[in-house]
Amino acid sequence: MTEKRLDPWGRGDIEDYGNLFKEFGIEPFDKYREKFQENRYVRRGIIFGQRDYGRIADAIEKKKRYAMMTGLMPSGKFHFGHKMVADQIIWYQGKGADTFICSADLEATVVRDVAPEIARKTAVEEYLTNYVALGLTEKNLTFWFQSDYVVPYYRFRDRLSKKVTLNELKGIYGDDLTTGKLFSAITQAADILHPQLKEFGGPRPTIVPVGADQDPHIRLTRDLAARFQGEYGFFPPSSTYHKFMRGLNGGKMSSSDPSSYISLTEEPETAKKKIMSSKTGGRATVKEQKELGGIPEQCMVYEMLVYHLVDSDKELEQVYSNCKTGGRICGECKKICAEKLALFLKEHQKRRKEASKTVEKILEKRKHGTGC
Ligand code: TRP
Ligand code: SF4
């Protein structure tokens, strides 16, 4: 039997989230749920796991210095699955984090075959612009492209390679480890740890919000942090893990399959149609639905409401119980969801138009480097 692995370059669908606790030592997020209820993803259990979150909870509560770092993979349209990560980034920025965001354009090129210019364009037009329209500001923000950062970062990245063996990397990533993957893994460790170098603000707790598929990178990075602890005084990075939204047809939400997602630049009318043809948890006939009730747990329309479109728990509970008891019919329900979505998209797309100034400022700041 082969050993169980999470594949950060794989299809990203995880069957059993509970297993991750036993299998990889990810801790449940439950302990912190009460404290950070205001965050919809926390409140609804979408952020389900963590490593070393205590340090971050403490920093937020006592207003101590800490950093938030995560990377975006610029390999397609920015959709509602990505919005969940953006909302988390923005939440931490609002909670005083020194915010570090990298465009993983090198990784996109060497592992995912995206041409370098396309990766950069996607990072700006899809990711950064949508982040800003969702609320990201230039305050306390460092944004960079993996492909053109500043010298101390590269020097550090290369030094990391000294304390990890090839066999160890094969153990983490499997035998099909390619040179591109190897470089991407070390680069990601540098992404996560370098904010703690003196040139970038010095040692401080760092939170990395990711999908569970990225946990192999987190484990490697935490090991490296320990191995270089004496030299740099690193705090091992903390992480949280979220459940991915499923695709509109119930399978994986994937940038390479436009029928599986709604992008944030989607025409509102097209988006509505996509909702109307999504997989629901409804029964074959209205009669059956009234008798047996629907299954919201299996409904992609409901999932959209949970993740994005209904912030009030009361309203959501009502949808849930009405669905369960047969008081809600899918046709109507989809229409309501489609309207909410169209409204959100119209407003969001207006905000995108106003985002360009801030995006420019963020990119401008990057040109001046970080003063080192
Ligand atoms: N590997 C990540 C992905 O595929 C992108 C990434 C690069 C990243 N550097 C990072 C994520 C640092 C978190 C932290 O999406
Ligand atoms: Fe989904 Fe709504 Fe149908 Fe329930 S009534 S299964 S929530 S579409």
pLDDT surpasses 60 at 56: yes
Mean per-residue pLDDT, 165-179: 95
Distance from Cα 253 to the centre of ligand 2, integer Å? 19
SS (H, E, C) the chain: CCCCCCCCCCCCCCCCCCHHHHHHCCEECHHHCCCCCCCHHHHCCCEEEEECHHHHHHHHHCCCCCEEEEEECCCCCCEHHHHHHHHHHHHHHHCCCEEEEEECHHHHHHHHCCCHHHHHHHHHHHHHHHHHHHCCCCCCEEEEEHHHCCHHHHHHHHHHHHHCCHHHHHHHHCCCCCHHHHHHHHHHHHHHHHHHCHHHCCCCCEEEEEEHHHHHHHHHHHHHHHHCHHHHCCCCCEEEEECCCECCCCCECCCCCHHHCCECCCCHHHHHHHHHCCCCCCCCCHHHHHHHCCCHHHCHHHHHHHHHHCCCHHHHHHHHHHHHCCCCCHHHHHHHHHHHHHHHHHHHHHHHHHCHHHHHHHHHHHHCCCCC
pLDDT surpasses 90 at 182: yes
Q: Please write the tens of the pLDDT for every residue from 100-125.
A: 999 999 999 999 999 999 999 999 99
CA angle 219, 220, 221 (to 5 degrees): 90
Distance from Cα 91 to the centre of ligand 1, integer Å? 18
Q: Which ligand is nearest to the CA of 296?
A: 2
pLDDT surpasses 80 at 13: no
Burial status of residue 211 (CB atoms within 10 A of its CB: 0-12, 13-18, 19 or more): middle
Distance from Cα 107 to the centre of ligand 1, integer Å? 8
Residue nearest to atom 7 of ligand 1 (CA): 71
pLDDT surpasses 80 at 275: yes
Identify the CA nearest to 275 among candidates 321, 326, 316, 309: 309
- Which residues form the pocket of ligand 2, taking CB atoms under 6 Å from any ligand atom? 280-282, 294, 296, 299, 301-302, 323, 328, 330, 333-334
- The C-alpha atoms of residue 54 and residue 62 are separated, in whole angstroms, by 12
199 Cβ neighbours under 8 A, 6+ residues apart: 150, 152, 370, 371, 372
Query: Does residue 67 line the site of ligand 1, with CB under 6 A?
Result: no
- The whole-number pLDDT of residue 329 equals 95
- The C-alpha atoms of residue 170 and residue 216 are separated, in whole angstroms, by 11
Identify the CA nearest to 236 among candidates 64, 42, 51: 51
Grade residue 369 by pLDDT with cuts at 50, 70 and 90.
Answer: low
- The whole-number pLDDT of residue 366 equals 82
Cα distances from 104 to residues 15, 41, 138, 188, 210, in angstroms, run 26, 24, 19, 8, 14
Grade residue 371 by pLDDT with cuts at 50, 70 and 90.
Answer: very low
Distance from Cα 310 to the centre of ligand 2, integer Å? 14
Residue nearest to atom 3 of ligand 2 (CA): 330
In the chain, the percentage of residues whose pLDDT exceeds 70 is 97
Please give the mean pLDDT across all residues of the chain.
95
Domain ranges (residues) in the chain: 19-244, 258-352
Identify the CA nearest to 283 among candidates 274, 292, 275: 292
Query: Does residue 138 line the site of ligand 1, with CB under 6 A?
Result: no
- The whole-number pLDDT of residue 11 equals 67
pLDDT surpasses 50 at 175: yes
Distance from Cα 227 to the centre of ligand 2, integer Å? 51
Cα distances from 371 to residues 148, 154, 189, 366, in angstroms, run 15, 15, 22, 10
- The whole-number pLDDT of residue 101 equals 98
Q: Which ligand is nearest to the CA of 293?
A: 2
- The whole-number pLDDT of residue 22 equals 87
Identify the CA nearest to 206 among candidates 327, 70, 320, 338: 70
Topology annotation, domain 258-352: Tyrosyl-Transfer RNA Synthetase (1.10.240)
pLDDT surpasses 80 at 12: no
Distance from Cα 273 to the centre of ligand 1, integer Å? 32
Residue nearest to atom 5 of ligand 1 (CA): 71
Model pTM score = 0.95
Mean per-residue pLDDT, 232-257: 96
Residue nearest to atom 8 of ligand 2 (CA): 330
Query: Does residue 71 line the site of ligand 1, with CB under 6 A?
Result: yes
Cβ atoms of residues 18 and 65 within 8 Å? no
Cβ atoms of residues 39 and 279 within 8 Å? no
Q: Please write the tens of the pLDDT for every residue from 125-167.
A: 999 999 999 999 999 999 999 999 999 999 999 999 999 999 9
Cα distances from 143 to residues 116, 311, 316, 359, 361, in angstroms, run 17, 29, 36, 10, 11
pLDDT surpasses 80 at 315: yes
Q: Which ligand is nearest to the CA of 320?
A: 2
Per the DSSP assignment, residues forming a β-bridge with 79 are 263
- The whole-number pLDDT of residue 168 equals 96
Q: Yes or no: is domain 19-244 CATH 3.90.180.10?
A: no
Q: Please write the tens of the pLDDT for every residue from 290-303.
A: 999 999 999 999 99
Q: Which of 16-20, 142-146, 197-201, 352-356 has the lowest mean pLDDT?
A: 16-20
Mean per-residue pLDDT, 187-199: 98
pLDDT surpasses 80 at 50: yes
Q: Which ligand is nearest to the CA of 218?
A: 1
Mean per-residue pLDDT, 173-188: 95
Tokens standing for 38?
Answer: 């205001």
